[in-house]
Every structure is written in structure tokens, then in C-alpha cells.
């Protein structure tokens, strides 16, 4: 029984970030486009294992802390952004990225 509890705890730790926010659940495995005021677009892919990649900025690690999506880039920069619940594939919304920049986020 203890082994089963330990295995369940490990699996929860590995996948728990995905279940902490329903919008993040939608973002995992989808293409997520960040469009900045100057027209720059960055496309991100979030993975269930807590990693992410982008088409132009590298990648790193992500976690959910309450209603915030927090990232740590490959270069060690960290930041968080509010992640509204209830967003799904096909939605886009105005937000502030993890480093305070205005952005439109779209789940494709």
C-alpha cells in the first residue's frame, strides 16, 4: 500500500501542474501564440511534464501557482502571469506576459 501511495504521489507531482488550472489544461499540447504590441509573435508549446518550448526564444520550465503561470527560461529568468480560467482552444485574450509586457494570448 505504501508503494502505491508513493507512486501516486510521484505521478501527481509530475502531472499536477496541468490539473491546477483549466486554461493550462487546454494549453498543454496546443499551439499557444503570444502577439505583442509591435506585431512580434511567439508560438509556445507547453508539455505535461512541466517543460515548454517556443519557436524563437528557446524554452524552459513552467508551473502553476494558484491562478498564475510561472516560467523559468533556459537562461534562468523567471516570471509569472495571471492565467484566467475558462479559456479553451480557439480563445484569445489580452494579458500581461510573465515579464510585464502587454500581449494577446491565443490557444490554437
Q: Is pLDDT of 75 > 60?
A: yes
User: Taking the model in full, what pTM does it have?
Assistant: 0.79
Residue ranges and CATH numbers for the domains of the chain are 2-107 (2.40.128)
Sign, CA torsion 92/66/31/25: negative
> Could you report the per-residue pLDDT of 11-28, keeping only the tens digit for each?
334 444 444 589 999 999
Instruction: Give percent above pLDDT 90 in the chain.
Output: 78
- Rounded Cα distance, 74 and 88, in Å: 27
Q: Is pLDDT of 74 > 80?
A: yes
For residue 102, the model assigns a pLDDT of: 97
> Could you report the per-residue pLDDT of 40-62, keeping only the tens digit for each?
999 999 999 999 999 998 999 99
Amino acid at each position: 500500500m505504501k508503494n502505491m501511495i508513493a507512486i501516486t504521489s510521484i505521478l501527481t507531482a509530475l502531472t499536477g501542474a496541468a490539473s491546477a488550472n483549466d486554461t493550462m489544461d487546454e494549453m498543454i499540447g496546443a499551439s499557444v501564440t503570444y502577439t505583442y504590441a509591435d506585431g512580434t509573435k511567439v508560438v509556445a508549446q507547453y508539455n505535461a511534464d512541466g517543460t515548454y518550448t517556443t519557436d524563437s526564444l528557446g524554452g524552459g520550465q513552467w508551473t502553476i501557482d494558484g491562478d498564475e503561470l510561472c516560467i523559468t527560461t533556459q537562461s534562468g529568468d523567471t516570471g509569472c502571469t495571471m492565467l484566467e480560467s475558462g479559456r479553451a482552444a480557439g480563445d484569445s485574450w489580452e494579458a500581461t506576459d510573465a515579464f510585464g509586457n502587454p500581449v494577446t494570448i491565443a490557444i490554437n
